[in-house]
A = this chain, B = another copy of it.
Amino acid sequence: MYNPKIGDPLSTLDTPSMIVDLDLMESNIHKLFSTLLPTGRNIRPHLKTTKSAALARKLVAAGAKGCCVAKVSEAEAITAAGFDDILITCEIIGGPKVQRLVELVQRHPGIRIVVDSAVGATAIDAALGKAEVKTPLAVLIDLDVGLHRTGVANTDAALELARHIADNLKNLKLIGVQGYEGHLQHLHSREERKRECLASMAILTGTAETLRKEGFNIEVVTTGGTGTAEFCASVPGVTELQPGSFIFMDTDYRNAVGRFYANSLTILSTVISRQGERQVTIDAGLKSLTTDSGLAECKDAKYVHLNLGDEHGALSWEAGTTDLQIGDRVEMVPSHIDPTINLHDFYYAHRNGVIEEIWSVDSRGKVQ
């Protein structure tokens, strides 16, 4: 039975396999926390990247305070794997999902959620009331700071929703605001990214301040990703940062924010066929590497990646420069790390080619 173990060399892994260079990953974690902890902000990394309770625990050991997940089913998986200081960053809408939330917070009352509509908040409040949940559920108002994806439209709408919660919803306790500037994370110009980020932060902290003036207890102002966290941390009033991708990076983030963080995760692949003089086919295709942010890259830059299909990729090279033969192995660097990890069941974390840890992708596929 195929059963990779700690202490095995990478050569014993079947391919495609998702591997992590521990030295590089630990360096990324150190860089983030040594940069951001001195700012005094809470760091609540987003597990929509890693989907792993084991990595959540490593991040807390490095200085994080809790983590984020995107969905209720992710929170179910991460709490089941033993980690429960969680903010769910997507709106929770619909009877079946609200019922799952109620059952989850009965087991894990420290969970926090976001709301952006009276209809959504009211449904959750009613379900909590029906279940006779004793402790009010901590909620943040999600504010649109420019992404136009979720969030109330502006400060007035935030104020209206805050009043609705305070006046009518006894099972919800408003503790803060969230405003995620996801549209800025991958802007290639650092100056433009900073300028736009500070504009988004002005909307977020201004709304928080208005809510406070109106008597609401806004303790948490949470925001930021790998591409903007350092700028967010410079803004008075921002209390919490949500970076996720820094731990592994991808080519899209590397192209945007540079090489401060290293690409620590690759997909180990095997050459399975040779097509002519300067092209081979590898065993990693769309089911191992996503293409929404472009093709993956071969870690060895001599080889150019040409994707071909669900199960196959192609690598080519300049005439006379190099060679790849059937059975050779290559490492592919993902273009977009979050959905790529979502395709795999396990991380094989190695140091100098020896497997040192194996982590389950606990919330793989938890889209609900």
Contact = CB atoms under 8 A, between A and B. Distances in A.
Interface of A: 1-2, 11-17, 48, 70-71, 73, 90-97, 99-100, 103, 116-117, 119-120, 123, 144, 148-151, 153, 182, 270-276, 279, 281, 283-284, 286-288, 290-292, 308-312, 314, 325-327, 329, 336, 338-339, 342-345, 364-365, 367-368
Contacts of A309: 149, 182
B93 A310 contact: no
A273 B91 contact: yes
A314 B2 contact: no
B96 A13 contact: yes
A270 B339 contact: no
Given A90-B311, A119-B327, 8 more contacts: A14-B100, A15-B368, A48-B310, A148-B279, A149-B281, A153-B275, A182-B309, A291-B291
A246 to B, nearest CB: 16
Given A343-B342, A365-B287, A274 B117 contact: yes
A222 B193 CA distance: 54
Nearest to A116: B273
Decide if the interface of chain A is mainly helix, strand, loop or mixed.
loop
Given A149-B308, A368-B15, A144 B283 contact: no
A14 B345 contact: no
12 contacts: A14-B368, A15-B94, A17-B368, A48-B310, A71-B283, A90-B283, A90-B311, A93-B326, A149-B308, A150-B275, A283-B368, A291-B291
Contact of A343 (B1, B13, B273, B365): B365
Contact of A2 (B16, B100, B182, B336): B100
B312 A150 contact: yes
A342 to B, nearest CB: 5
Contacts of A345: 365
A99 B13 CA distance: 11
A326 B120 contact: yes
A286 B336 CA distance: 11
Given A117-B273, A119-B326, A326-B120, A16 B283 contact: no
B343 A272 contact: no
A257 to B, nearest CB: 18
A91 B283 CA distance: 9
Contacts of A314: 149
Nearest to A1: B103
A286 B292 contact: yes
Contacts of A120: 272, 326-327
Nearest to A18: B367
A273 B150 contact: yes
